[in-house]
Chain A
Amino acid sequence: DVKVTQSSRYLVKRTGEKVFLECVQDMDHENMFWYRQDPGLGLRLIYFSYDVKMKEKGDIPEGYSVSREKKERFSLILESASTNQTSMYLCASSFLTSSYNSPLHFGNGTRLTVT
């Protein structure tokens, strides 16, 4: 079974702090994604990566950056956390081949609260 592991289940940070969310997958997937989940809005894509050191902006990249130094690890960075970034963050991965219908495998999420 594919395993996508997010390093923290819950995080509480202060406004202005730099925040790192880590995600590791064990299936050698090329694609990795960071989503934000808010009630009534579904999932919104922040950033994705299709290869090491490659990244593409999603629908809501403002206030975020990402890093992918190794194939199995994809980090989401909040440069200066703000209260409107309080949310559930979900990491996902998938194979690159048959890209448009390759299912996503999700981690269990990190619930971030910014005070």
Chain B
Amino acid sequence: AQSVTQLDSHVSVSEGTPVLLRCNYSSSYSPSLFWYVQHPNKGLQLLLKYTSAATLVKGINGFEAEFKKSETSFHLTKPSAHMSDAAEYFCVVSPTTDSWGKLQFGAGTQVVVTP
């Protein structure tokens, strides 16, 4: 069985300050992990993915995430927030030994960026 928990439902940051979105997972297998972003009135877009290669994963728009097996975490960070980062972010876990139909989405973290 697998699950994913996003620890914050809302995060508010000032433009130019760091962003941290926290995600913990549980999985019976070595998982693949993803972060997706959803801007208002849009579908989800892939930010980055971890698939058992390097534990520090770089994505689009300056985001990166670090896979920590000992902590079962996959937190998303960005050094300096931009107004365009205001969106909802989803952490997703997929087992590597099962089908893609078993993706589990977190409940989402809404990010607000203030000037």
Q: Chain A interface (Cβ within 8 Å of chain B)?
A: 4, 31, 33, 35, 40-45, 48, 56, 58, 90, 92, 94, 99-104, 106-109
Contacts and interface: CB of A to CB of B under 8 A. Distances in A.
A103 B36 CA distance: 10
Q: Size band of the B side of the interface?
A: 20 to 34
A103 B107 CA distance: 19
A60 B108 CA distance: 19
Interface string B39-76: 00111111001010000000000000000000000000
Contacts, number: 60
Contacts of B43: 4, 90, 92, 106-109
B34 to A, nearest CB: 7
Contacts of A107: 43
A41 B100 CA distance: 20
B44 A100 contact: no
14 contacts: A40-B9, A43-B44, A43-B90, A43-B105, A44-B105, A56-B101, A90-B44, A99-B99, A100-B94, A100-B99, A101-B51, A102-B100, A104-B36, A108-B43
A42 B105 contact: yes
Contact of A103 (B9, B34, B99): B34
Contacts of B94: 100-101
Given A33-B101, A106-B43, 18 more contacts: A35-B105, A41-B107, A45-B101, A90-B43, A92-B43, A100-B32, A100-B94, A100-B98, A100-B99, A101-B49, A103-B46, A103-B49, A104-B44, A104-B103, A106-B44, A106-B45, A107-B43, A109-B43
